[in-house]
């Protein structure tokens, strides 16, 4: 099959509300007896860069699915411009937060029970499964290789074995609430998590801003850990989950007492906050990042948090 031979596939499937675009493409190609790698070349579906509007419509037509539904589930260029910004599910993300990368991360139980890959799994911010409460996996339990999109079926690895769950410790309560919040943001029909387990600032932020701020706060476990080593330690979903857990706890601690920021300056990835303050997905992301930076630089303590040290329009993000 060549791109000039593009035609509408005869077996039509319905795309699920929470399904990823790549997972849907894999299901449709499989239902029509086409291998994923061959189908990708036939569709011209490149993953090293966002899909433009024309590519989305061409691929959606061939897959026999509504172009708007499919396009919302694929990483596409941000129409508002800006280098490094993309769109997914109608939201702005930095390219490294929302990706169509070669390898996938999955919840084996979801694959077995629903036969679908969730849209949220394409976000770096998704470290676990909101339904089952365990970390996602990115490597096959049988062959040990990274799980590729180019596989025989949704729940089968390239090695030919079913992708099955291994015994694993559940994610922390705060991380579970975070995962439920992500699902709610992507699909408002999902259950809204308990607000008592999440920072009060979260409802004001975009997914991109919330994750990047939480990551900046929780990246380093201690003051002696270098940023480079910390980044290498959080490449797996479980590693990202540990960063999210620390970041959420620190953000909630800051909300209770902004003065602790003076003691967190050596733990926080300040360059990451500076980048958010300079260019963010939403104004609230920018405001909170700027407030955190100013608190660390000015030595704001809890005694003057409601007085001269308070920056109008930003501290209420913590207490709203």
pLDDT digits (tens, 9 = 90+) for 212-221: 999 999 998 8
Per-residue pLDDT at 266 exceeds 90: no
> In angstroms, what CA-CA distances link 256 with 35, 174, 217, 219, 249?
54, 17, 15, 21, 11
Residues 107, 97: contact at Cβ < 8 Å? no
Per-residue pLDDT at 232 exceeds 90: no
- Closest alpha carbon to 319 in 180, 204, 182: 204
Residue 14 is part of which domain span?
3-101
pLDDT single digits (tens) 49-99: 889 999 999 999 999 999 999 999 999 999 887 789 999 999 999 999 998
- The average pLDDT across 264-279 equals 92
The percentage of residues in the chain with a pLDDT greater than 90, rounded to a whole number, is: 64
pLDDT at residue 236, as a whole number: 83
Asked which of 101, 126, 142 is the last residue of a domain, the reply is: 101
pLDDT tier, 188 (very low <50, low <70, confident <90, very high otherwise): confident
| Residue 208 counted as domain residue | yes
What letter would DSSP give residue 202? G
Residues 201, 248: contact at Cβ < 8 Å? no
| Residue 50 counted as domain residue | yes
Asked which of 52, 76, 101 is the last residue of a domain, the reply is: 101
pLDDT tier, 311 (very low <50, low <70, confident <90, very high otherwise): very low
- The average pLDDT across 234-242 equals 87
Structural domain tally of the chain?
Answer: 2
Asked which of 101, 135, 156 is the last residue of a domain, the reply is: 101
């Amino acid at each position: 099959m060549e791109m000039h031979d593009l035609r509408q596939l005869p077996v039509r499937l319905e795309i699920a509300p929470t399904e990823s675009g790549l997972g849907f493409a894999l299901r449709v190609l499989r239902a029509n007896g086409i291998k994923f790698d061959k189908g990708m070349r036939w569709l011209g579906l490149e993953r090293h860069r966002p899909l433009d509007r024309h590519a989305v419509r061409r691929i959606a037509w061939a897959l026999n699915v509504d172009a708007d539904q499919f396009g919302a589930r694929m990483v596409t260029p941000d129409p508002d411009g800006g280098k490094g910004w993309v769109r997914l599910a109608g939201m702005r993300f930095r390219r490294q937060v929302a990706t169509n990368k070669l390898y996938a991360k999955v919840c084996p139980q979801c694959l077995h029970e629903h036969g679908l890959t969730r849209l949220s799994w394409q976000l770096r911010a998704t470290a676990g499964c909101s339904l089952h409460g365990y970390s996602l996996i990115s490597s096959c339990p049988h062959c040990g290789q990274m799980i590729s999109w180019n596989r025989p079926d949704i729940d089968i690895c390239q090695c030919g074995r079913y992708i099955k769950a291994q015994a694993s410790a559940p994610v922390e309560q705060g991380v579970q609430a975070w995962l439920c919040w992500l699902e709610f943001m992507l699909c408002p029909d999902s259950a809204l998590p308990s607000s008592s387990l999440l920072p009060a600032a979260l409802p004001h932020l975009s997914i991109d801003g919330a994750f990047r701020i939480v990551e900046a706060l929780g990246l380093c476990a201690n003051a002696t850990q270098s940023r480079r080593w910390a980044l290498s330690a959080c490449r797996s979903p479980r590693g990202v989950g540990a960063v999210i857990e620390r970041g959420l706890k620190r953000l909630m601690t800051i909300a209770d007492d902004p003065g602790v920021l003076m003691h967190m300056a050596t733990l926080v990835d300040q360059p990451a906050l500076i980048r958010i303050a300079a260019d963010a997905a939403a104004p609230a992301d920018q405001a909170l990042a700027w407030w955190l930076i100013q608190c660390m630089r000015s030595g704001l303590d809890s005694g003057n948090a409601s007085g001269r040290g308070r920056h109008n329009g930003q501290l209420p993000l913590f207490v709203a």
